[in-house]
Amino acid sequence: MKTLYFDCFAGASGDMILGALVSAGVDARLLIEQLSRLNVEGFDVSFETVDRSGISATRAHVQARDERQHRHLSDILKIIEASSLTESVKERAAKIFTRLGEAEARVHNVALEQIHFHEVGALDAIVDVVGACIGFELLGVEKFMASPLHVGSGTVEMAHGRFPVPPPAVVELLRDAPIYATDIKGELMTPTGAAIISSVCEDFGPLPALRVARTGYGAGAREYENFPNVLRVFIGESAAANETEKALVVETNIDDCSPQLIGHVMERALAAGALDCYFTPVQMKKNRPGVLVTILCRPPDRETMFELLFSETTTIGVRCYEVERRTLDRVFVSVQTSFGAVSIKVARLNGRVVNATPEFEECRAAALRAGVPLREVEVEAREVFMRLGIGQLESR
């Protein structure tokens, strides 16, 4: 399983993540081209090689127009959804901003819909997050891990005033993650960096058993004496593919909640990082028909799912238990059809391709654009994929 490990000995920021991904092999021109699919104007992205305490690193420069209006979460999600990016990039970027919004809402004790982003809602932050998601997809990363997170020390000036490092939103985002501070002054872990890493990482700890294929160094803006202000990433194959992993089932029975709200809960759960969410009809006390809401999530997301169920439904009690989960090794392959590019999700067992499925939303969008039946797009996508040769995919 292709794994990316964030070595955060100098923290992380959105631009450091972008720089590290390009340093690790992401084609900068392709990344910039895909960022143009955001369909928004007013930003420019460039990369340069710099020195940080003797380490050669890639510095990402995201220049954006000066914006005076602050965006709400719904504004950012609309920009992402209206783009022509792949569905997997859209989903991951939406998850990151939703997690960031929920953290801000808890810090300020207001409803999620009322949160308006300051620095992290600016165009350069949107480019950082979406660019990182594009880079992850281009590298084919399937699993994410991180070291304990160096957050820095001292104070930082923010929109609401001067705050201690790490600022409240970063603390909230890194709940349950291992963090530490040293005598290095400054905000090493930014809200954007914390949101990206906490949203994608399944575990935190020492470098795992990894057959390293690539490394990359993303440079931070500040320079310190005898301290390399860089984010290092390792990319390689985990020791065992198709391994069993721990997951949590969070569930509750409900018999007095609108079906419309139940559907909303599924959307919120998946956007917040749930691995799966489904409903089961049940017969409850006093012969009342009800629904069993089941959410499958990673252990670090437990509190998020608890809060979601308590705030969005009428339940007053939630159950949680650990399960084992095994998934197949998966990669995405883009094929070019007469209706446009379509991603194929390829599942492999011990390197052998056992399933290949065109991405439904991309096929649906292509069918609507061309005015043809959805099935026609799916059939052509499968045919083009088969002509690529399964053997080449099995040897990757």
Give the model's pLDDT for residue 264. 92
Residue 145 pLDDT grade (very low, low, confident, very high; cuts 50, 70, 90) = very high
Query: Which residue intervals of the chain are DSSP H helices?
Result: 14-23, 28-35, 73-82, 87-108, 123-139, 168-173, 191-200, 259-271, 302-312, 360-370, 374-388, 390-394
Least confident segment among 234-243, 264-273, 358-367: 234-243
Evaluate if residue 253 carries a pLDDT over 50. yes
- Mean per-residue pLDDT for 183-189? 91
The CA angle 219-205-88, to the nearest 5 degrees, is 65
Number of C-beta neighbours around residue 217 at 10 A: 23
What per-residue confidence (pLDDT) applies to 326? 85
Instruction: Please identify, among 207, 238, 269, the residue that sits at the C-terminal boundary of a domain.
Output: 238
- Same domain? For 117 and 170 the reply is yes
Check whether 308 has a pLDDT greater than 60: yes
Under the banding of pLDDT at 50, 70 and 90, the label for residue 300 is confident
Q: What is the pTM of this model?
A: 0.65
Q: Which residue has the higher pLDDT, 67 or 380?
A: 380
Residue 214, C-beta contacts closer than 8 angstroms, at least 6 positions apart: 24, 25, 234, 235, 236
Domain shared by 64 and 212, yes or no: yes
* Mean pLDDT for the stretch of residues 270-294: 92
Q: Given 206, 238, 270, which residue is the final one in a domain?
A: 238
Nearest to 101 by CA among 199, 215, 238, 4: 199
Q: Which of 204, 328, 197, 325 lies closest to 273, judged by CA?
A: 197
Are 135 and 21 in the same domain? yes
Are 279 and 364 in the same domain? no
**pLDDT for the residue 240:** 52
Q: Which residue has the higher pLDDT, 159 or 381?
A: 381
State yes or no: pLDDT of 396 exceeds 60: no
pLDDT at position 64 is 83
375 pLDDT higher than 80: yes
Long-range contacts of the stretch 166-170 (C-beta < 8 A, 24+) = 166/194, 167/191, 168/107, 169/100, 169/103, 169/104, 169/107, 169/194, 170/194
pLDDT value at 58 more than 70: yes
Q: What pLDDT band is residue 332 in, cutting at 50, 70 and 90?
A: confident
- CATH code assigned at 349: 3.10.20.300
Q: Is residue 376 domain-shared with residue 248, that is, in the same domain?
A: no
DSSP-assigned beta bridge partners for residue 157: 162
Q: Is the pLDDT of residue 379 over 90?
A: yes
Q: Determine the pLDDT at residue 24.
A: 96
| Same domain as 277, residue 182 | no
Please write the tens of the pLDDT for every residue from 223-239. 998 899 999 999 998 75
Flag whether pLDDT at 158 surpasses 50: yes
Confidence of residue 215 (pLDDT cuts 50, 70, 90): very high
Mean pLDDT of the chain: 88
pLDDT for 281: 95
Asked if residue 274 and residue 213 are part of one domain, the reply reads no
Instruction: For residue 251, give both structure tokens.
Output: 């569930």
Report the sign of the C-alpha dihedral through residues 4, 137, 349, 247, in that order.
positive
Average pLDDT over residues 90-96: 93
Residue 374 domain boundaries: 329-394
Last residue of a domain, one of 326, 356, 371: 326
**What mean pLDDT do residues 200-208 have?**
89
- Residue among 119, 266, 146, 276 nearest 200 (CA): 146
> Do residues 138 and 123 share a domain?
yes
Decide: helix, strand or coil at residue 186.
strand
At residue 167, the pLDDT reads 87
Domain total for the chain? 3
Residue 226 and residue 251 share a domain: no
Residue 395: per-residue pLDDT: 46
Please indicate whether residue 154 or residue 7 has the higher confidence score (pLDDT).
Answer: 7
Return the higher-pLDDT residue of 83 and 393: 83
Whether residue 256 is found in the same domain as residue 152: no
In terms of domains, do 84 and 180 share one?
A: yes
Instruction: Give residue 209's pLDDT.
Output: 82
Do 61 and 165 have their domain in common? Answer: yes
Say what the pLDDT of residue 368 is. 94
The CATH number of residue 273's host domain is: 3.30.70.1380
Return the H-helix or E-strand segment holding 51: strand 43-52
